[in-house]
Amino acid sequence: MSTVTPNANAASEEAVRQVPDAQGRFGQFGGRYVPETLTKALEELTHEYAKAKQDPDFQAELNELLHRFVGRPSPLYHAARLSKQLGGAQIWLKREDLNHTGAHKINNTLGQALLTLRMKKTRVIAETGAGQHGVASATACAHFGLPCVVYMGAEDVRRQKPNVFSMRLMGAEVRPVESGSRTLRDAVNEAMRDWMSSVEHTHYIIGSVIGPHPFPMMVRDFQSVIGRECREQCLSSFGKLPDTIVACVGGGSNAAGMFFPFVEDRSVRMVGVEAGGRGAAPGDHASPLTYGSPGVLHGSYSYVMQDEDGQTSDVHSMSAGLDYPGVGPEHSYWKDASRVEYTSCRDDEALGAFDFLARNEGILTALETCHAVAKATEIAKTMSPDQHLVICLSGRGDKDAAELARLRGQEW
């Protein structure tokens, strides 16, 4: 395997990479803004995770699961027809959609389920938006024999029905959340409230790089298998690092896992794509990095959509997994450090990308992921055919078939 291009400016890049600090701060972002009741469990988790990280047995068990249960490594696929159609960069798809359960979420839930056992906790709770994290949590819990309760906004229960059914088939209890906007944000609130009462025997498997320390760091680490594999696969497939990487950003876990192993490689341009919904007006999108401001939500300090009083604003995306007013603190850090560019993609653009990938490559992509695909195709057109662009294909689209039919007024 070829060696990696040396860094021009290793010292400062090291600084960008060595986050968070012991308090869970990514620069000014992150930290822990939660009720005191949760502190003990967060400390315990921090401690157990630090131990597990150093423990070869833990790593071996996780790697074995990722290999034989999940099917990793996921392929890096050259979308030759798509590339040719666009006439720009060579487009490569990191196929997280081919993982067991159909998305990147399983990388994280298996890691956290193993930690649950190590901490001798006997029950798992999770929140979910698109249902992919719920399914991945239900799967990990079925695998290990842990009872699992998944909180899901009632609106998301409606628009991601197939995943609700899958979770129940695997023995998880899905609790629809009727409060607030009845979406992901409300599901996180309810899961946190459950945890406030159950914290002594329950582990809360947060599904993205959000929440109080150590979650943003730990989930990023578990998802970094995406970027690590991708880096090696780029080197072996086309002999160098990619020029550009594009990923969608809801809470930001597939993007963080993809980007993190490339953070020091300044030659690699990285683009995170948020949900642009119906447009730039307040309430019409879910793009805190593009339109929001720093604030506190769900236990950490990060960009968020909020009003002048600090109340969380309503957001919109047709995609349940991106329909969230906050984002992981490390993305806020990367944004302010200008290491990653963040942009947003509207519902209609994402729908166009769904069809484009379906017709040209025979891949049905999750609506979340379509946001990355749409922006990537735009960017690829501005690049030359000897350049390489990687898209994190975070999930498959089966779950969205019925909702797509509804959005288009077609029969399902």
Partner 1 sequence: MTAIDDLFTRLRASGKKALMPFITAGDPNLPFTSKVLLRLQELGCSMAEVGIPYSDPIADGPVIQASYTRALANKVKLDQIFHQIAGTQPSLSMPLVSMVSYAIIHRHGPARYIESAKAAGFSGAIVPDLLVEESAPFAILCREHDFNLVQLVTPTTPQDRALKIAEQSSGFLYFVSVTGITGERTQLPDGLVDRVGWLRERTKLPICIGFGISKPEHVRLLSPVCDGLIVGSAIVRCLEKAHESEANAIASAAELVSSLLAALES
Ligand X SMILES: Cc1ncc(COP(=O)(O)O)c(C=O)c1O
Nearer to ligand X, 103 or 373 (CB): 103
CA pair distance 149, 285, nearest whole angstrom: 29
Active site annotation includes 74: no
Binding of partner 1 by 295 (CB under 8 A): yes
Residues 197-236: x where in contact with ligand X by CB under 6 A, - otherwise, as a string:
-----------x----------------------------
Q: Which of 362, 370, 360 is nearest to 407 (CA)?
A: 370
In angstroms, give the least distance from the CB of 235 to ligand X.
24
Using CB under 6 A, pick the residue from 129, 227, 261, 295 that binds ligand X. 129
Binding of partner 1 by 120 (CB under 8 A): no
Q: Which distant-in-sequence residues (6+ apart) come within 8 Å of 406 by Cβ?
A: 159, 412
Q: Which distant-in-sequence residues (6+ apart) come within 8 Å of 183 by Cβ?
A: 129, 153, 155, 156, 320, 323, 324
**E strand or H helix at 148, and its extent?**
strand 148-153
Binding of ligand X by 304 (CB under 6 A): no
Binding of ligand X by 370 (CB under 6 A): no
Using CB under 8 A, pick the residue from 57, 200, 386, 411 that binds partner 1. 200
* Angle in degrees, CA 84, 87, 91, rounded to 5: 60
Active site annotation includes 399: no
**E strand or H helix at 296, and its extent?**
strand 293-297
Using CB under 8 A, pick the residue from 1, 54, 56, 308 that binds partner 1. 308
Nearer to partner 1, 92 or 215 (CB): 215
**E strand or H helix at 283, and its extent?**
none
* Residues in the chain, overall count: 412
Q: Which of 76, 95, 98, 103 is nearest to 388 (CA)?
A: 76
Q: 315, 45 in Cβ contact below 8 A? A: no
Binding of partner 1 by 163 (CB under 8 A): no
Q: Which among 94, 105, 335, 399 is annotated as catalytic? A: 105
Nearer to partner 1, 210 or 393 (CB): 210
Q: 282, 312 in Cβ contact below 8 A? A: no
Active site annotation includes 394: yes
Binding of partner 1 by 54 (CB under 8 A): no
Query: Which residues of this chain interact with partner 1, rule CB under 8 A?
Result: 23, 31-41, 179-180, 185, 189, 192-193, 196-197, 199-200, 295-299, 301, 306, 308-312
Query: Which residues of this chain interact with ligand X, rule CB under 6 A?
Result: 103, 129-130, 132-133, 208, 248-255, 321-322, 366, 368-369, 394-395
